[in-house]
Amino acid sequence: MKISGIELIHVLPRYTILKLSTDEGIVGYGEAVLEGKSRTVEMAVKEYEKFLIGQDPRRIEHLWQAIYRQNFYRGGPILTSALSGLDQALWDILGKSLNVPVYQLLGGAVRERVRMYKHVQGETPEALAESAKKAVAEGFTMVKTTLAGKAHILETPAFVAREVERVEALRAAIGNGVDFGVDFHGRVSPALAIRLAKEMERFSPAFIEEPCLPENIDVLVTVARATTIPVATGERLFTKWGFRELLEKQAAFVLQPDLAHCGGITEGKKIAAMAECYYAAIAPHNPLGPVNLAASLQLDACAPNFLAQEFVQLGEGYLKRPFVVKDGYIELPTAPGLGIELDEEALADKIYPGDFTNMRWFHDDDGSVADR
Ligand SMILES: [Mg+2]
């Protein structure tokens, strides 16, 4: 079997579907995108085309090594996102060629269904509580929210009180039998993160996510040691090398590799195995499209240290058979490969040029740049 073509389709709101064709008629899908840089990743994929055409798509590890190492310049968000989309498509092809789901090729399922967590939102405590109650009524056993807005490098007691009141309302709304995470989104400084975490501890969040940015792991260690709340991070880390220091320094307990950015299913499986050595969990990041969700579910099925899966959509309007969440879980996919079929007709009116741009935040008082 030989790779015969690569096509990328940008679809709204900000997804990019990669189609890898073969001379035997099998087509593999992957999600090759970096939010806000869709066209840059598209170009990176296109630059591998000359090498990939004619290669045997079943030699996944070999092609991964060639794509990653023969750049000379390795890693980073753009190149690794391009590699991730290709890797997902290669696994899809291999599964389809053998007529088995991808997780069967990665050691087989270690669970019967996959726990999903839902985003809940609301700027005020009341709105957040309402959103959370709805999710619990739908059957979710875990939810996640983000901080309400921008944060200065240090903040007032009023800011801290507002965020803590939201978390208090969230816990009251869901009760003690449901988990919640709080995504700090790398918006706050380590000093402020420690203060927020201290106040939030009494409501027992399952984790705080990106309490500060992961560019300086030692700082993250300082935050992690200052709180009993498990720290989660990983959506902005790439490949096994990106997660190595995080694990060695025990800076986080919940690892959140994004299979569209971290190096694909191949690398996600290795990161999960590295995390096992530290008794750490994985909760794959995915605010992206149905193909990345499908890829993530394959890893979730076979990773023993899996906690819960993030999602924002289930494939309605993209897939012929969208995923179904029942009582907060998705049943293991049984179709070959990634187990999905695109609904080309429904996709047609979502095709766009890939010019999605991330929102920019500036502080209201002095106009300086705020992290979001
Ligand atoms: Mg996040």
Output the pLDDT for position 211. Answer: 97
CA of residue 96 to ligand 1 center, whole Å: 32
* Mean pLDDT, range 174-202, rounded to an integer: 98
Please identify which of the residues 10, 185, 261, 363 carries the catalytic annotation: 185
CB neighbourhood size of 93 (10 A): 28
Output the pLDDT for position 248. Answer: 98
Output the pLDDT for position 124. Answer: 95
- Does the domain at 104-336 match CATH 3.20.20.120? Answer given as yes
Output the pLDDT for position 71. Answer: 86
CA of residue 71 to ligand 1 center, whole Å: 29
Output the pLDDT for position 6. Answer: 98
Q: Is the pLDDT of residue 292 over 90?
A: yes
Please identify which of the residues 10, 152, 285, 363 carries the catalytic annotation: 285
Model confidence over 127-138: pLDDT tens digits? 999 999 999 999
* Mean pLDDT, range 3-24, rounded to an integer: 98
Q: What is the Cα–Cα distance from 181 to 174, expressed in whole angstroms?
A: 12
What type of residue is 249? K
157 closest CA partner among 99, 213, 204, 198: 198
Work out the percent of the chain whose per-residue pLDDT is above 70: 100
Q: Does residue 285 have an active-site annotation?
A: yes
CA of residue 22 to ligand 1 center, whole Å: 35
Q: Is the dihedral angle over the CA atoms 80, 82, 83, 88 positive or is it negative?
A: positive
Q: Is the pLDDT of residue 114 over 90?
A: yes
CA of residue 145 to ligand 1 center, whole Å: 9
Output the pLDDT for position 233. Answer: 98
Q: Is the pLDDT of residue 342 over 90?
A: yes
Q: What is the Cα–Cα distance from 18 to 89, expressed in whole angstroms?
A: 7
Model confidence over 223-267: pLDDT tens digits? 999 999 999 999 999 999 999 999 999 999 999 999 999 999 999
> β-strand 361-362 against 3-11: which pairing, if any?
unpaired
CA of residue 114 to ligand 1 center, whole Å: 20
Residue-averaged pLDDT of the chain: 97
CA of residue 24 to ligand 1 center, whole Å: 39
Output the pLDDT for position 147. Answer: 96
28 closest CA partner among 53, 3, 59: 3
CA of residue 54 to ligand 1 center, whole Å: 38
pLDDT tier at 363 (50, 70, 90 boundaries)? very high
Q: What is the Cα–Cα distance from 350 to 336, expressed in whole angstroms?
A: 26
Output the pLDDT for position 184. Answer: 98
Fold entry, domain 3-101: Enolase-like; domain 1 (3.30.390)
Domain boundaries, the chain: 3-101, 104-336
| End-to-end C-alpha distance for the chain, whole angstroms | 45
DSSP string, 76-101: SHHHHHHHHHHHHHHHHHHHHHHTSB
- Are 341 and 122 a contacting pair, CB within 8 Å? no
Output the pLDDT for position 243. Answer: 98
pLDDT tier at 63 (50, 70, 90 boundaries)? very high
Q: Does residue 62 have an active-site annotation?
A: no
Q: Is the pLDDT of residue 272 over 90?
A: yes
Q: Is the pLDDT of residue 76 over 90?
A: yes
